[in-house]
Structure 1
């Protein structure tokens, strides 16, 4: 350690030992460099201070990256994403549990939680986005196909209107709910707002349906094949629609309640 350092240097050095955050440490180290006389005898000291700053900045970036990963750890696991928003104690967790048969506790939610609503063959990911973390998890709302906004006349109207304006600015489809006693109606409303149709698939010469699937309106046979990951080219395709049997191609448009047979 050079002996000709100013007294201010040692004062700052003491502050450095008591610094708690990375930002504070970097600031003090930069001040130490600033007040250190620049000559040959202090070259190693200044170089060492700069190395310490570089290491602290690397540590800061690592922590920032880990934090970003935690924020982005939510992933899409359903065919469609429906987000539930509302102010505190608006019943978001209760609705999530009812829609998806989940068992989340109804205490204050601090991170997104989700369940799967299996409805008419569609796998709908219903996600509760915490009110106090809306900005942090705004990317979930932006990637949602539909947003359910919970509104209550008995709660803070001004706060609810502020939240509603924020949600409206996302230009997403929105359902406003003030009563979720009729859960089946809410499921049907979700289905309709997502613009889905139900299509059935059966094997040739079999009477029973193999499975049903929820798919977007205006989808064609080709979309259905991609949805069910059918890679084998069918020789021909049959659709049972009402009392009619149709032989169709891959670009044929599907309708609600169609029964499709792939002849491979």
Structure 2
């Protein structure tokens, strides 16, 4: 019983520290000076260097989803609705969630390890001594880069995923590219696009905040760096599912009203 009590206290303490760190980010995110050069560099590091992995995963997901669903759709005589179903599935859930999880593993762990290494080698302390604000330079730029780039990566994954689905459809049936994407876009409504797009910004916020938090307060030693990278992935992945659930629930309540 005592162990459970201490575990719960540890969880609440961690939540409090993460909430305080998030509040500190919002306090510094809109104040001068703005580190534009570092922000652009981080957008390149986070966005461009993750693009190939996201595109490859999205394309394979489109292939697999179509291969798995096509026999069932044929059995029900609904194979013509494959573009409709794949597009809605990708835009609503598969694209945002899978891309965010990939980014949590690649970007979140990378940020945690990088900042953790800087913490261990006392580079962050050196920045404070030299008069540079390490929080704005290291944390704010990385979180903003995640908020900006994650939605763009999700859009790219959605497009390539539908392209992968078209590839299977074109080899198994007589479907042109124009016909496939015409049906795919015709099936989507504003209610599919808006909530799915909005939640990707929160996905980016979660990945950036958690990665920076775990790295910024990493414990001393190489073991602390590894622990920061690992816990950044685990915590951000769990929070992504929580944010996704809240976003879907909020969208259902909003459209019900």
| TM-score, with structure 2 as normaliser | 0.20
Greater relative contact order (Cα < 8 A, sep 6+):
2
With normalisation by structure 1, the TM-score equals 0.20
Which structure: greater strand fraction? Answer: 1
